[in-house]
Structure 1
């Protein structure tokens, strides 16, 4: 019996996002960037700029008798878009389109009925928080740090 659903849930989230048609042109990264990447569209699972943790989790007994435990956790994610121009509104809209694609990928459909459960690894998962970041120097960068919150029974 696993002591946490975090590893399986992160793997399932990556799999769902990599299979999402709306994210086909996005570089999806497991964890932090290895170098200073300059792709126009990136999505990081298990990393946010300045975050203390890739995943924050909490467990407690599910009921009297201590036979099962409930686990709640938040997967830190970050997506950004960049361009060489100075149109911040365009990048801001583009980064929110990427997060909308993530949210859509986590919804149940006929093709992906188990997406909200991260393919059965958790009871449910959904986007819960977000923080917009904008930078303008040699072009524009809009980034959105967001959290996928999950609940599991172990």
Structure 2
């Protein structure tokens, strides 16, 4: 018996993002980083630098009879852009462009009609929150912690 759609949703989100042409030059990372990546743009799924939770979820019965349950969850994600210069505007623009491409990848298109459902893993998914951080650490860095919120039926 399936107890959660979280594993399937995270797997589907990773598959959608790694297949998106917009992320060809971006390290799409499953969870926290385990190695030192060389690309200056990164996208983490299931990890944020300021949160211990990869996914937060709640479940409840959807109707009398307790045959099915509704599940709501938020997948923690983090986008990062860095460079050796000190121009924050460029990093900020780059990180918001990265998250914009995530939002685009989650929209239905003729070639990807099931993207908003994470290819059938959930009823729907969309971006719902974000926090921008900026730093000067061996150059400029902008990070955007955001959530992909999902609704599923189990």
Q: Any idea what the Cα deviations from partners look like across 1:75-105, whole Å, max 9, x if unmatched?
A: 0000100000011100000000000000000
Contact 2:27 2:37 in 1 (8 A): no
Is residue 2:113 matched to residue 1:138? no
Map of 1:26-105 to 2, 5 A cutoff?
Answer: 26-105=26-105
Shift of residue 21, structure 1, vs aligned partner: 1.0
Q: Which runs of at least 4 in structure 1 moved beyond 6 Å after TM superposition?
A: none
1:74 alignment partner, SS class:
strand
* Counterpart position of 1:23: 23
Aligned to 1:118: 118
How big is the shift at 1:38?
A: 4.7
* Offset at residue 146 of structure 1 (A): 0.2
Give the number of aligned pairs: 154
User: Which ranges in structure 1 are unaligned for 5 or more consecutive residues?
Assistant: none
- The alignment's TM-score, normalised by the length of structure 1, stands at 0.97
In 2, the alpha carbon distance for the partners of 1:137 and 1:8 equals: 36
How does the TM-score come out when normalised to structure 2?
0.97
Q: What displacement does 1:64 show?
A: 0.1
SS of alignment partner, residue 25 of structure 2: coil
**1:16-42 alpha-carbon deviations (Å, 9 max, x no partner):** 001111111100000001144452000
Q: For 2:18, what is the secondary structure of its paired residue? A: helix
